[in-house]
């Protein structure tokens, strides 16, 4: 497909405010893309040259792109800068300056390759090289193409189309039916690379997707836990089950193939370079290839006590990782294994996977060890283990169904978490997606932001529904940072995937997640989360307990289904 044609589709997708229309445009576009280009087309739709775990960075900030635009259209740099300031979008600046009358002959592949080339230019003189390469590309293309190329290069081609919608559209485009989506989703959950899955689907067909297996060095989308608020309910649901200590660190999915080791975070960023001591310990394992799931924590070597989450995460921001790894060495607690020496264990029952965890990690040294579990069907044992776990400073327990496989990318009752706060009315914090913000009033007027409109994810429709307005819990500094983060994803109309009865002063692309605590979930006539017959759900007295979460994407926020469950559960708790 010509990149010009894709640009027209991008423009139509950008201007629609209706999700169904978005789906129709997308499946029409995908039906016209060739099998060799479908992966790249998916990346353009996602707005990233590849999933972030590949670590491909184009590395061009506004200033450099301004120079490329100035060079391509023989326009003074000052004029480019002024228009950029005025319009606030370099994509549009390029569109306005570009005088080409007709669309270029460049294919999606040609444009993609030229952009990928930028990411490979590093070291001395690379800035000039990048400016030349981008300018050459811009010279050849029509205004609309230029707009999207510039936005893509800057990481600002955000159309806010969810992966679920992309998969449904791929299924419709290739088979004329949406029904193949679950198979695509299964493959995506095993490799986290939708472009790769799309390309296999188009070039090798349905059977290959159905047989798709885990691949070492491509992260598996993590299995997630449901919640219940009493040991009894959990035992009623699971019967005899494993109780696994729940650590409050950060999730680390580890891949090893020979000497090569990679560690992925909960939202599948490559975090290998942050934890040299872990990489070294993993290399020492005798297994040739392995993928396992674990929680990483820092601990005090002298006393053996675990540091809280804030200390653990701190090193991510530290420049001197070596120093941090000496001062706050990390430990890994392994709770699952998904692949071993050429064989996927995803479909093996929990008991078999757990035996493998014990066998491999029992004596693997002090850095990596298995999490501690018990297996029981007795409420007394459950309560005792839970209390012991809590008194040793941990967060709670994750109960695991003995017969279940590893549920990649799914939150279901194969894993059920119960935290130490389960006796309070609303026993958990809630992760919400920021959908818009309100201007500050009174003392907050000077920050330009006073509160945010936030929502939860509705898996059924792949949309975001509002649940609350949050104004408290942010420091002044955070408010300032929040405004600048949100301004970078501001849009001029309600995004198509947002369902809201409330109109904030500014809409933003649903990208950022924050964690909030609330007193209670209540019914509400104005919030659309779970709305039926005019009644939805809202949070009472919400306050932020985190800043923007680096480890969560919008689709990782809590879901409408979970809110309904939490609402039901809080009614059954006696305080
Ligand atoms: P939370 O805020 O409760 O961690 P979450 O949305 O990040 O929620 P959940 O699926 O709700 O993730 O809870 C599971 C999380 O708990 C995992 O992502 C993992 O990081 C952590 N965890 C700690 N110990 C364990 C364990 N033994 N088994 C499974 N997950 C564990």
Confidence band (pLDDT; 50, 70, 90) for 481? very high
Report the atom number in ligand 1 closest to the C-alpha of 225: 10
* Other Cβ atoms within 10 Å of 555 Cβ, number: 18
Superfamily of segment(s) 224-419: DNA ligase/mRNA capping enzyme (3.30.470.30)
Residues 361-385 have pLDDT tens digits of 998 778 899 999 999 999 999 999 9
Looking at the predicted structure, is the pLDDT value of residue 250 above 50?
A: yes
Q: In 193-340, which residue ranges form alpha helices assigned H by DSSP?
A: 194-204, 206-210, 231-238, 276-283, 309-314, 321-327
Q: What is the dihedral of CA 184, 190, 191, 193, to 10 degrees?
A: 30
- In SS3 terms, 181-193 reads as HHHHHHHHHHHCC
Distance 125 CA to ligand 1 centre (A): 45
Q: Is any atom of ligand 1 closer than 6 Å to the C-beta of 247? A: yes
CATH 3.30.470.30 domain extents, the chain:
224-419
Lowest mean per-residue pLDDT among 170-174, 241-245, 521-525? 521-525
**3-state DSSP assignment of residue 410:** coil
Active site residues: 246
How do residues 29-79 score in pLDDT, each as one tens digit? 999 999 999 999 999 999 999 999 999 988 899 999 999 999 999 889 999
CB 499 within 8 A of CB 457: no
**Using a 6 Å cutoff on CB, does residue 266 contact ligand 1?**
yes
227 lines ligand 1 (CB under 6 A): no
Distance 38 CA to ligand 1 centre (A): 34
pLDDT above 70: residue 421? no
The sign of the torsion formed by the CA atoms of 247, 249, 250, 253 equals negative
Out of 2.40.50.140, 3.30.1130.10, 1.10.101.10, 3.40.50.1110, the CATH code matching 430-570 is 2.40.50.140
> What local confidence, expressed as pLDDT, does residue 440 receive?
80
Q: How far is the CA of 449 from the centre of ligand 1 (A)?
A: 32
Structure confidence by residue, pLDDT tens digits, 7-29: 999 999 999 888 899 999 999 99
Distance spanning both ends of the chain, measured CA to CA: 62
Which pTM does this prediction carry? 0.83
Q: What is the DSSP letter of 52?
A: G
DSSP-derived secondary structure letter, 222 = P
Q: Rounded distance, CA 174 to CA 189, Å?
A: 20
268, 295, 334, 407, best to mutate for ligand 1 pocket (most atoms within 8 Å of CB): 295
Distance 432 CA to ligand 1 centre (A): 17
> Cβ(264) to ligand 1 under 6 A?
no
Instruction: Assess contact for 309 and 249: CB atoms under 8 A.
Output: yes
| Segments of the chain assigned to CATH 2.40.50.140 | 430-570
Three-class HEC string of 291-305: EEEEEEEEECCCCCC
Q: What is d(CA 527, CA 76) in angstroms, rounded to the nearest whole number?
A: 49
């Amino acid at each position: 497909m010509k990149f010009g044609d894709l640009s027209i589709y991008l423009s139509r997708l950008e201007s629609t405010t209706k999700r169904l229309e978005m789906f129709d445009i997308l499946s029409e576009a995908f039906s016209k893309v060739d099998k060799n280009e479908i992966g790249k087309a998916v990346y353009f739709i996602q707005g990233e040259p590849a999933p972030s775990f590949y670590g491909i960075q184009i590395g061009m900030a506004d200033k450099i792109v301004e120079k490329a635009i100035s060079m391509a259209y023989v326009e003074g740099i000052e004029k480019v800068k002024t228009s950029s300031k005025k319009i606030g979008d370099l994509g549009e600046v390029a569109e306005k300056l570009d005088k080409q009358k007709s669309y270029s002959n460049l294919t999606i592949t040609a444009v993609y390759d030229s952009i990928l080339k930028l990411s490979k230019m590093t070291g001395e003189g690379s800035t000039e090289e990048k400016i030349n390469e981008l300018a050459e590309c811009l010279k050849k293309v029509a205004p609309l193409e230029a707009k999207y190329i510039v936005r893509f290069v800057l990481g600002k081609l955000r159309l806010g189309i969810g992966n679920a919608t992309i998969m449904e559209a791929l299924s419709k485009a290739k088979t004329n039916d949406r029904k193949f989506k679950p198979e695509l989703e299964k493959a995506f959950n095993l490799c986290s690379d939708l472009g790769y899955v799309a390309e296999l689907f188009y070039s090798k067909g349905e059977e290959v997707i159905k047989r798709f297996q885990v691949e070492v060095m491509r992260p598996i989308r993590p299995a997630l836990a449901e919640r219940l608020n009493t040991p009894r309910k959990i035992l009623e649901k699971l019967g005899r089950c494993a109780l696994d200590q729940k650590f409050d660190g950060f999730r680390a999915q580890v891949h090893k193939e020979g000497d090569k080791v990679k560690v992925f975070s909960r939202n599948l960023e490559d975090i290998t370079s942050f934890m040299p001591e872990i990489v070294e310990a993993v290399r020492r394992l005798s297994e040739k290839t392995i993928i396992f799931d674990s929680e990483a924590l820092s601990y005090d070597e002298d006393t053996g006590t675990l540091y809280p989450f804030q200390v653990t995460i701190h090193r991510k921001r530290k420049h001197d990782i070596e120093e941090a790894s000496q001062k706050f060495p990390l430990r890994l607690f392994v709770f699952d294994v998904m692949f071993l020496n050429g064989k996927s264990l995803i479909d093996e029952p929990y008991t078999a996977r757990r035996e493998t965890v014990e066998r491999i990690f029992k004596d693997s040294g002090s850095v990596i060890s298995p999490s501690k579990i018990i297996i029981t069907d007795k409420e007394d044992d459950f309560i005792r283990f839970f209390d012991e776990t809590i008194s040793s400073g941990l967060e709670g327990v994750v109960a695991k169904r003995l017969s279940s496989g590893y549920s990649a990318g799914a939150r279901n009752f194969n894993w059920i978490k119960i935290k130490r706060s389960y006796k309070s009315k609303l026993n958990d914090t809630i992760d919400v997606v920021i959908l818009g913000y309100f201007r500050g009033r009174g003392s907050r007027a000077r920050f330009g932001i006073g509160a945010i409109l936030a929502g939860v994810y509705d898996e059924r429709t792949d949309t975001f529904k509002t649940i609350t307005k949050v104004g408290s819990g942010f420091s002044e500094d955070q408010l300032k940072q929040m405004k600048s983060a949100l301004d970078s994803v501001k849009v001029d109309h309600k995004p198509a995937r947002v369902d809201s009865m409330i109109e904030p002063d500014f809409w933003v692309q649903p990208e950022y997640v924050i964690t909030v605590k609330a007193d209670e979930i209540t019914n509400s006539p104005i919030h659309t989360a779970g709305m039926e017959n005019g009644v939805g759900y809202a949070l009472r007295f919400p306050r932020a307990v985190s800043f923007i979460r680096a480890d969560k994407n919008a689709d990782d926020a809590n879901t409408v289904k979970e809110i309904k469950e939490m609402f039901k559960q809080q009614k059954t708790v006696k305080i």
